[in-house]
Amino acid sequence: MNLLFVNPPIYDFTAFDFWLRPYGLLRVAGRLRGCELTTFDYLVSRQRDAFGRGEFDRQPVARPVALADIPRRYYRFGRPRKDFLDLLSETHFDAVLVQTVMTYWYPGVREVVDDVRRLQPQAKIILGGVYCSLCPDHARSLDVDQVLEGLDLRPLGLPLSDGLPFWESVDARVGVIKITEGCPFRCTYCSVPVVYPDFVARPLDVCVEEVRFLARLGARHIAFYDDALLFQSDRILLPFIEAMLRQNPGVSFHTPNALNARFITPEIARLMVRAGFKTFFLGFESSDYQWQRRTGGKVYSEEFARAVQSLREAGASSITAYVIIGHPNSSEQDLEGSIRFAAAQGARVMLSEFAPIPGTPDGDACEAHTRLDEPLNHNKTAFTLRFLGEERANRLKALCREVNGWNSRELRR
């Protein structure tokens, strides 16, 4: 069979290539190497910064009706549509497999489906990914032939193997990896327990070979997509680091999915820095103890402070704390105090706008504030502005810029 794998464009208020690679799609393609494989990635940033991040091409588009009240410009992010239409005009495909991520990015998925239906009506269209697992009925409404919920690929009915991700089909100068699947924690705002019900470690030899493969293809930056990278580190992360120190693949590692600060010890911090970890993103969310406890008790303020100190003493120069804004219980969160606390420890603060995810306790609680049956209402920018109000949201962003500017000046001294 001749298969086409597509990473769709994004329709949203904001989007940035924050090590955003179609890892799930490439892993699926790697298991179907017995077929003829072609990939089309809409999300290719043209220029990247020193850490491998960059801007996507974008074009302003009309806001959909569901988001008409949001005072922000709405864009289509990604390569020109004509590039994809040219491919469909030149090559016959038996099936088109489309990756999905955020539930509210479905307009980009619909664009791909419409183009395939128009130019290659004989092709079977298959959707898989996070949107399909969280909103399967809505995904089926997009005129597709099959929606894969969860992680089981057997319903594809195609011959599966244990191949490496199909990195050779895309620009692999920036890669991603997961050495674990799932998360043992049950944070009330997070979709991971819904999509990945179990926490498991991937085989070490497979993970090491993925890094070696990326390095051979020219990768210089690799981001971890793990949701609990440091959990049981003596059994999982530390053996991986030891293998990297032995093999010296010549890549820099990054942690955009947020590290659990509870597990960062001075020894682990030193080993991570020594192994080439360049950016450390910590999930902090709030400095309020009761809020931390009610949302799953992932990390407490004193643990966060110790982690930042350990990283700084180990020589880490890029430490960022995520703080959620727009959470339905934000009145208990002490947002201003949380931002100031994280900055006072020496971390750069990045605000993470809350998205109400269906199937999570905090997401389902948002039924009182928005209609969750329309995935566009899950949009993080839209929900945060509606819940906090534009004035409060802008005030928090201004405070974030202020404390980050102060920290930058301190670091330069």
Spatial distance between the Cα atoms of 215 and 200, rounded to a whole number of angstroms: 25
Spatial distance between the Cα atoms of 87 and 353, rounded to a whole number of angstroms: 36
- Partners of 201 in the beta sheet? 180
Which secondary-structure segment (H or E) carries 308? helix 301-314
Give the domain 2-156 fold.
Answer: Rossmann fold (3.40.50)
pLDDT at 186: 87
Q: Where are the domains of the chain?
A: 2-156, 172-412
Phi (first) and psi of residue 127, to 5 degrees: -110, 145
What the block records as the tokens of 248 is: 């010296």
- Cα–chain center distance at 150: 17
What is the pTM assigned to this prediction? 0.94
What are the angstrom distances between the C-alpha of 121 and each of 93, 118, 165, 269, 326?
Answer: 10, 6, 28, 53, 42
Taking only the tens of pLDDT, the chain with its 413 residues reads 999 999 999 999 999 999 999 999 999 999 999 999 999 999 999 889 999 999 999 999 999 999 999 999 999 999 999 999 999 999 999 999 999 999 999 999 999 999 999 999 999 999 999 999 999 999 999 999 999 999 999 999 999 999 999 999 999 999 999 999 999 988 888 999 889 989 999 999 999 999 999 999 999 999 999 999 999 999 999 999 999 999 999 999 999 999 999 999 999 999 999 999 999 999 998 888 888 888 777 788 999 999 999 999 999 999 999 999 998 887 778 899 999 999 999 999 999 999 999 999 999 999 888 999 999 999 999 999 999 999 999 999 999 999 999 766 555 44
CATH 3.20.20.70 is the classification of domain 172-412: yes
Contact 77, 110 (CB under 8 A): no
pLDDT at 393: 95
Spatial distance between the Cα atoms of 306 and 284, rounded to a whole number of angstroms: 12
Residue spans of alpha helices (H) in 135-186: 136-140
* E strands in 292-346: 319-325
